[in-house]
Structure 1
Amino acid sequence: MKTKSNISSIKKHRFSFFANQLVNKRTLYFTLYTFNFKSVLLCGLFLFSINIIDGQSLNDLVNKALDNNPEIKKFELQYRIASEKVNEVNTLPNTEFGVGYFVSEPETRTGAQRFKVSAKQMLPWFGNITARENYASALADAKYEDIVIAKRKLIASVSQSYYTLYANTAKQDVLTENIKLLETYEILALTSVEVGKASAVDVLRLQMRQNEMQQLFGVLSQQFLAEQTNFNMLLNRDKAINVNVINELNLPSEDFEITTENLALHPELLKYDKLYYSVEQSELLNQKESSPMIGFGLDYINVENRPNMNFSDNGKDIIMPTVSVSISIFNKTYKSQTKQNELQQKEVLAQKQYRLNTLETLLDKAINDRISSRISHKTQAKNLRQAKNAEDILIKSYETGTIDFNDVLDIQELQLKFQMNQIESVKTYYVQTTIINYLTQQ
């Protein structure tokens, strides 16, 4: 804690610039107050120009995230794998080749049989291969919705992180302004101490309040770095890259119209429709696979000439075309698969209804929270105007020498609270808007 002599030295140091230019207390206050807010205004304009030049558009950042995000690439690769399975199923069963050697050579009229070579190709029932292709395509279409969902979620995550960074930066700016304002009040308090209108305790309270703000400023700075890391990871880039957000974000005069009917066309729900369709294709394939399979083959049997005999077919080889049929008689696999498909369709419908209820709840909550944020923003603006009026009254009382620095600190604390709440309401408004866009955007 500073002693009275230290306070006096600090007072002389900070007040020397103004002492030569002041005539009375009115001139003192007016000069200091104007100097402080002009410097803040010029600083704000400078920062605003920097953000315009160096600021990064949210749309550009979102596009970078869509191009670089590894999760999107993961789903795209999964979709390509699923699409490639269409070519995998467009095949026939393996061709069977066989070779046999007669250990005990059977004798026939035309000679002894030495060895046998056979080939056979099984063919699925008509439409079986097409059914496989349709099923594989249906699974690939369902997998494609994962890409659409992931992109929507990424857009929402990048936007929400961006607005969080904006709110953090705006709060730091507010703290900087309030710290400078407290420095002005501290100079006024030092002047009052010199003329016996205030005590050193008032100066110490102002300094302690500045310390609290500096602490909060440091905490916000660390939170910004943490959120900046999260933001850069969404863009799949180095975590230390600086993110420049817009300098000012205001609420629109009117909210855009929300078409709740679009919720039924949300990719998360469309995915269930495609999954249901894939189960239908699975059942069609199951029915085709339960049909018989037809096989065509050819057997060749080598026959040795009979010695010391002369007739037309002596040693004539045997060529025998074959036809075979594969029928499922004692197999309950296909009936069980049909039952499983029926249950799976019911499961998909139940999952879709559950997800629809969840999305409707999220949409209603987002709409109501956004309305609440607008109400809060208006209330905080009204409170700020009234706090400013109270501050003006307190400052005017300085002319009569009756200023109470406890009241000054109370009003300043209220102003800071209202400013922080106003920034938070703006952030909430845009965060809820991203949720609404995620749910209703086409």
Structure 2
Amino acid sequence: MKRLIYTLLGLFIFSISNAQELETLVNEALNNNPEIQKFELQYSIASEKVNEVNTIPNTEFGVGYFVSEPETRTGAQRFKLSAKQMIPWFGSITSRENYVNALADAKFEDIVIAKRKLMASVSQSYYNLYANKAKQEVLQENIKLLETYETLALTAVEVGKASAVDVLRLQMRQNEMKQLKDVLHQQFLAEQTKFNKLLNRKSDVAVVVVDNLMLPSEDFEMSTNNLELHPELLKYDKLYQSIEHSELLNQKESSPMIGFGLDYINIEPRPDMNFSDNGKDIVMPMVTLSIPIFNKKYKSQTKQNVLAQQELKTQKQERLNILETLLSKAINDRISARISFETQTKNLKQAKDAEDILIKSYETGTIDFNDVLDIQELQLKFQMNQIESIKSYYVQSTIVNYLIQ
């Protein structure tokens, strides 16, 4: 299990300058998350049930006292002691153990699935925090840029090359950006709370994310054939095997049960007679055989097991179809994110070129602050889209990793 976790961590966390930090956070989540602990406890309970079924039926003891003492040739019967032990058919206890172990194996897959989902959730929340922080930094840069433009506009107003309206427009645009930055800050706090709760720690613990996140030069290799080995699908195989063991147990329980017993009857000696067996107690060993003559119950259980196996096959195929759809969507969305990132990078370069042209125009006294606002708005849009593309790429990568690694 540890080897699997470290392998998945290496695949979830890539092309990040401080990957060790995220790996540490994921490990903390795996160790502290209550949902993981819940599934581990459920698995421990299922495993412990092996000891519960590794038993034989209770030994029966009986005591009887004759209120009206029946007379026998050797004397009157006073009281009776009896003991009986039923023993299941050969192999029944082993079949029970195999069945319970099969159920425990299926429960173990819940742990693997939960850990995969938790690793994906922690990584995705981390990328959301990164994107939020990056957007706030972009907004702060644009606010400073607008402050520079405002200074230029004030100078232009003084020399009659711009109007006060231009200054007000720049100030209103700054106010909008500050408002958006404040909103993003509140969203960051909400996402930070979500992240901390995944790690089962206090909500206000500060989360430090990477300063810069870039796309890898090329996508990592992957094999879609691994999807069939996904724990969500393996769980159906384990449940199928548990039904096979359930049927073997059903066959064993439909077999006879053998019982061994012993009866002891105390005899009171006859006072008016003298012979060798006078007052001799009765000891009677017994062997019993319990045969399920009316075995409709077991035949019905066999039919139920066959139907349950058929149901599991259809459920597995249905889940496989869903996972294949999710994988295809994640792969294509990741490709789309790379395409969008490259497009936004080109657009951003052209927007900066346009910005440089406007600044040079100011030197000749022909600056148009409406154009300034338009270019600044486009530049901000491209920067935001670029950050969103990076986040989308890594979020989709976590989905791909969850499905095929």
* TM-score normalized with structure 2 length: 0.95
Query: Is residue 120 of structure 1 aligned with residue 84 of structure 2?
Result: yes
Q: Distance in 2 between matches of 1:184 and 1:414?
A: 17
Structure 1 residues 39-50: aligned runs within 5 Å: none
Partner residue in 1 for 2:105: 141
Partner residue in 2 for 1:374: 338
Q: 5+ residue gaps in structure 1?
A: 1-50
Which residue, 168, 175, 179 being the options, matches 1:215? 179
AA aligned to 2:247 is E
Q: Distance in 2 between matches of 1:144 and 1:218?
A: 45
AA aligned to 1:183 is E
Q: 5+ residue gaps in structure 2?
A: 1-15
Q: Distance in 1 between matches of 2:380 and 2:366?
A: 24
Structure 1 residues 172-321: aligned runs within 5 Å: 172-321=136-285
8 A contact 2:230–2:404 mirrored in 1: yes
Partner residue in 1 for 2:62: 98
Question: Secondary structure of the equivalent of 2:155?
Answer: helix
Partner residue in 1 for 2:21: 57
Partner residue in 2 for 1:153: 117
Partner residue in 2 for 1:44: none
Which residue, 397, 401, 404 being the options, matches 1:433? 397
Q: Distance in 1 between matches of 2:181 and 2:363?
A: 33
Question: Secondary structure of the equivalent of 1:308?
Answer: coil
Q: Sequence identity, in percent?
A: 80
AA aligned to 2:299 is K
Question: Secondary structure of the equivalent of 1:158?
Answer: helix
How far 1:399 moved relative to its partner? Answer: 1.6
Structure 1 residues 360-399: aligned runs within 5 Å: 360-399=324-363
8 A contact 1:56–1:243 mirrored in 2: no
The total of aligned residue pairs comes to 390
Q: For residues 126-151 of structure 1, give each alpha carbon's deviation from its aligned partner in whole angstroms, at most 9, with x where no partner exists.
A: 00000000000000000000000000
Query: Is residue 162 of structure 1 aligned with residue 126 of structure 2?
Result: yes
Q: Distance in 2 between matches of 1:111 and 1:394?
A: 127
How far 1:425 moved relative to its partner? Answer: 0.1
Q: Distance in 2 between matches of 1:56 and 1:236?
A: 20
Question: Secondary structure of the equivalent of 1:57?
Answer: helix
8 A contact 1:56–1:246 mirrored in 2: no
Q: Distance in 1 between matches of 2:325 and 2:207?
A: 33
8 A contact 1:56–1:245 mirrored in 2: no
Q: For residues 253-283 of structure 1, give each alpha carbon's deviation from its aligned partner in whole angstroms, at most 9, with x where no partner exists.
A: 0000111011000000000000000000000
8 A contact 1:95–1:120 mirrored in 2: yes
8 A contact 2:254–2:295 mirrored in 1: no
Q: Distance in 2 between matches of 1:418 and 1:282?
A: 60
Query: Is residue 73 of structure 1 aligned with residue 37 of structure 2?
Result: yes
- Shift in alpha-carbon separation, 1:107–1:292, aligned structure 2, 3 A: same
Partner residue in 1 for 2:6: none
AA aligned to 2:132 is N
Question: Secondary structure of the equivalent of 2:185?
Answer: helix
How far 1:396 moved relative to its partner? Answer: 1.1
How far 1:217 moved relative to its partner? Answer: 0.2
How far 1:103 moved relative to its partner? Answer: 2.3
AA aligned to 1:255 is D
How far 1:109 moved relative to its partner? Answer: 1.2
How far 1:247 moved relative to its partner? Answer: 0.1
Q: Moved runs in structure 1, 4+ residues, more than 3 A?
A: none
Partner residue in 2 for 1:109: 73
Q: Distance in 2 between matches of 1:101 and 1:188?
A: 114
Partner residue in 2 for 1:413: 377
Higher radius of gyration, 1 or 2: 1
Partner residue in 2 for 1:83: 47
Q: For residues 154-192 of structure 1, give each alpha carbon's deviation from its aligned partner in whole angstroms, at most 9, with x where no partner exists.
A: 000000000000000000000000000000000000000
Q: Distance in 2 between matches of 1:256 and 1:313?
A: 94
Q: For residues 267-322 of structure 1, give each alpha carbon's deviation from its aligned partner in whole angstroms, at most 9, with x where no partner exists.
A: 00000000000000000000000000000000000111011211110000000000
Question: Secondary structure of the equivalent of 1:297?
Answer: strand
Partner residue in 2 for 1:31: none
Q: Distance in 2 between matches of 1:406 and 1:113?
A: 118
Question: Secondary structure of the equivalent of 1:321?
Answer: strand
Q: Distance in 2 between matches of 1:120 and 1:78?
A: 36
C-alpha RMSD over aligned residues: 1.2
AA aligned to 2:145 is L
Partner residue in 1 for 2:290: 326
